Amino acid sequence: MSCSVKRTVEVLRVDRHGLRRAPDEVAVEHPLTVSVADVEVATLLCSPSHVEDLVVGFLFSEGFIGGPEEVVSLHHDPDAARVAVELEGPLPSARRVVTSGCGARGTLRAEGLPRRVEAELVVGVSELVEAMTELHRSGRLFEATGAVHSAGLARGGRVLLVREDVGRHNAVDKVVGAALRSGLEPGQLVLLSSGRLSSEMVLKAARLGAPVVASRAAPTDLAVELAERLGVTLIGFLRGLKMNLYANPERIRGEK
């Protein structure tokens, strides 16, 4: 099985010149089954890139692991579209508390929420603008296909890493996994996303310990509520010099 993130299809293109057949690049949507200790825990529909980052980020976000050090081995078999993971201890009973349309349904109980983020990070408006601009420019697969989301982690206005995926949750899990595996200090990071900010996005950021989440798109009401509750600074509609601060705005420094 190919692990290409895009492929070429033939389309019938309609424009002011009429109808014509032409090649077009589309993003690959790849079912990836994740098993832990020989137990299938999920099948993710994803872009087949940075698979180890995705799996580590997913397992961390869903509560299967508390950190990458708990992963003893991770074997990706692209031909079988499977990833087999072995953990240090027994398979835990993961608690899924997400309620977005792309996630599992559940209830948001206090005992299932991550700890409040207390990082004292302060970010300038210009740093946010620079970082979001860089994220947008880094979206090579989006530029080719128009069919994926981007997520990134930034510090001081500089984007440290970018991941793309057909799923916005997967893109965030990929950067979470990359941050964990590379040992980045989460309290100094801004989590960037090109997609809608659902409650699940806020939970992923809070569990990582990232104090600021920003997107070009809008948040949901539950995302705003959770961000307030969990101490996450939530920013939507970050486009050019304009943005909306929805929760915990004290971390954002205005500039004259």
Q: Which residues are catalytic?
A: 102
Q: What tokens appear for 187 in the block?
A: 């309290």
Distance of CA 62 to the CA centre of its chain: 13
Residue 255: how many other CB atoms lie within 10 Å: 10
Distance, in Å, from the CA atom of 48 to the CA atom of 53, rounded to the nearest integer, reads 11
Q: Where are the alpha helices (DSSP H) in the chain?
A: 51-61, 125-137, 140-145, 168-182, 199-208, 221-230
Residue with the two structure tokens 């980052």: 53
* 8 A C-beta contact, residue 70 and residue 89: yes
* 8 A C-beta contact, residue 31 and residue 43: yes
Q: Say what the alpha-carbon torsion angle 76, 105, 195, 120 is, to the nearest 10 degrees.
A: -90
* 8 A C-beta contact, residue 152 and residue 192: yes
Phi, psi of 116 (to 5 degrees): -65, 135
Distance, in Å, from the CA atom of 197 to the CA atom of 26, rounded to the nearest integer, reads 25
